Structure 1
Amino acid sequence: MAQTETKPAIRKGRKFDQVLEGARKIFLRDGFEGASVDDIAREAGVSKATLYSYFPDKKLLFLEVARGECARQADEAGEQLATGAAPREVLGFAGGRIVEFMSSDFGFGFFRICVAEGDRFPQLKQGFYEAGPMLLHNRLVAYLKGAVERGELAIEDFDLAADQFIELCKADIHARLLFEGSCCCTAHHIKRTVDGAVEMFLARYGVKG
C-alpha cells in the first residue's frame, strides 16, 4: 500500500514574526528564486536551523509572508465594509485601499513574483489570490448584500458587481504600474480613479430616490 506524502508544515515559535519580516524584505528585493535562505536568516537575525524549524520549505515561507500582508490589508478594508455605512462612503474607502495596496512596493512586488513564479509553483499564485483578492471580494459581496437589504443598492449578481467595482478601481492604473512603475500613481491619480469608479458603480446599481 502506497504511503501518502506528508506536506511540510509551518511551526510557530518565539522568533516566528522576526523570520517573516526578514523574509518579506528579501523576497521583495531578490524575488522568490533569487532569495536565499542564508540572506533571509541573516536579515531576520536568526540561524538557518531556526528558520528551517519554522519553515521547512521556502515556498511555505513565501506564501505565509504574502498571506499575512494580504490579510492585513483586507482586514483594514473589511472594517469599513462591516460598518453598514452608506455605499458612497464605504466604496470610496474600499476602492482607495485596493489601489493603494496594488500600487505599493509590497503589493506590486508580490504580484510580479507570483506572475514570474506562477507557472513553476501554481500554489503560490493560488495562495496569494485566496489570501488577498478573493478575501476582499467576499467581504465586498457581503457588504453589497447588506446594502441591497437596506434598499440602498439594486443588484442581482453580487459576484459580478463586486468584480466590476474592483476592476473599475484599477482602470488604467494596473497597466501603468506594469510599464511605468509605482511613480505613475500619485495620490491625485488614485483619488480621481476611485471617485470615478464609485460614480460609475452607483450610476449602474444605485437606487434612484
Structure 2
Amino acid sequence: MAKAAEKQTSRAVMMAGKERAIVMAAHDLFLREGFAGTSMDTIARSAGVSVKTIYSHFANKDELFSKVMLAACRDGLLSGELPPDTVLAERFGWFRETTQHGLMEAGREYLSHLLSEEQVALYRAVTRDAGRFPELGRQYQKNFARGRTGILIAYLAGIAREKGWTARDIAQDAALYESLLRAGLFEEVLHGLRPGNAEEIERQAQAASKTMWGLFTGECL
C-alpha cells in the first residue's frame, strides 16, 4: 500500500512538473509569436515533452492559449482585491508623498509596468487575438483597471484628502493622468518606434505630472 501510494505521488509530481513546463513554454511562445504563429509541435519541443503529453493536459490549443494568456493578464502584484492604503504605502515609497514629485514617481511606476517587455508583449498578444478569444480583452482590462489604475485612484484620493480637494472626481482624475502618461509614448513603443527605457519613462512621467499638478492647483487653467 505504501509503495503504491508513493508511486502515485511520484507520478502526480512528474505530471505537475510537465504541465508547468508546457505552460511556461507556451507562455513565452504565445507572447512572442501569438496564437496563429505558435504550433503545438513548437511548444512540445520547447517544453521537452511530446505533443501527446500536451494533449493529455489540455484538450486543444485553444484551451492552452486561454489558460496561459488569462494567467498572464493577472497582475502578479495584485493577486486579489486592491490592498488597503497601509499596504500600498509599504510597497510604494511615494504613496504618502502628496506632492508633484510623488505624483511623478507614481507615474513612473505606472509606466515602468505598462512598458515592461512582458506587458508590451502581452498587450500585443491580447489585441491580436481578442477577436478569437474575447475573454482575453475583458480580463486584461479588468485586471489592469483593478490593479494599476486602482493604485492611481487610491493615491490620488489620498492627495485630495490631504489638500482638502473635496469636489474632485478621483476616477476621472486617474483616467486623465493615465492618458497623459500614455500619450504618444505607449503607441510608439507598441509600434517599435521608441524604446520604453528608463530615460523615456522619466521624461514622460515628468511632463505628465507637471501638467496634472498644474490642473490640480489651477496653474493650467
TM range (shorter): 0.7 to 0.9
In 1: Cα distance, 2:123 partner to 2:107 partner: 18
Match of 1:34 in 2: 37
Does the alignment pair 1:126 with 2:138? Answer: yes
171 and 178 in structure 1: CA distance in 2 versus 1, 3 angstrom threshold = same
Query: What's the CA shift for 1:170?
Result: 1.2
Counterpart residue identity of residue 42, structure 2: D
Once residues 149 and 157 of structure 2 are traced to their aligned partners in structure 1, the CA distance between those partners, rounded to angstroms, is 12
User: In the TM superposition, what whole-angstrom CA distance separates every residue of 1:32-89 from its partner, at most 9, and x where no partner exists?
Assistant: 2222233223323345455456554123223234224xx12668xx889821411345
Matched residue type, 1:195: Q
Q: Which residue does 1:159 correspond to in 2?
A: 171
TM-score (norm 1): 0.73
1:82 corresponding residue in structure 2: 88
C-alpha distance 147-33 of structure 1, shift in aligned 2 (>3 A): same
CA deviation after TM superposition for structure 1 residue 115, in Å: 1.6
Q: Paired residue for 2:64, among 45, 58, 61?
A: 58
Distance 1:95 1:140 in 2: 8
* Amino acid paired to 2:40: V
Distance 1:204 1:144 in 2: 13
Q: Is the 8 A contact 2:185 2:194 kept in 1?
A: no
Residues 86 and 207 (structure 1), Cα distance of their counterparts in 2 relative to 1, 3 Å cut: farther
Which among 58, 72, 78 is matched to residue 76 of structure 2?
Answer: 72
Query: 2:156 touches 2:170 (CA, 8 Å); kept in 1?
Result: yes
Amino acid paired to 2:27: R
Give the superposition deviation at 1:193: 0.8
Aligned residue number for residue 171 of structure 1? 183
The residue type equivalent to 2:45 in the other structure is: R
Instruction: Name the larger-Rg structure.
Output: 2
Structure 1 spans left out of the alignment, 5+ residues: 1-11
Distance 1:129 1:155 in 2: 27
Alpha-carbon shift at residue 155 of structure 1 (Å): 5.5
Output the aligned Cα RMSD. 3.2
- C-alpha distance in structure 1 between counterparts of 2:154 and 2:208, whole Å: 19
In the alignment, which of 177, 190, 193 is matched to residue 204 of structure 2? 193
Q: Which amino acid aligns with 2:37?
A: G
Contact map agreement 2:22 2:54 (CA 8 A) in 1 = yes
1:91-130 deviations in Å (ceiling 9; x for gaps): 3333223323333332222212222211222111111222
Residue equivalent to 1:98: 110
* Residue aligning to 2:215: 204
Structure 2 residue ranges without an equivalent (≥5): 1-14, 90-94
d(CA) in 2 for partners of 1:18, 1:140: 35
- Relative to the length of structure 2, the TM-score reads 0.70
Identity among equivalent positions (%) equals 24
Aligned counterparts of 2:47 and 2:217: Cα–Cα separation in 1: 49
* Number of residue pairs aligned between Structure 1 and Structure 2: 192
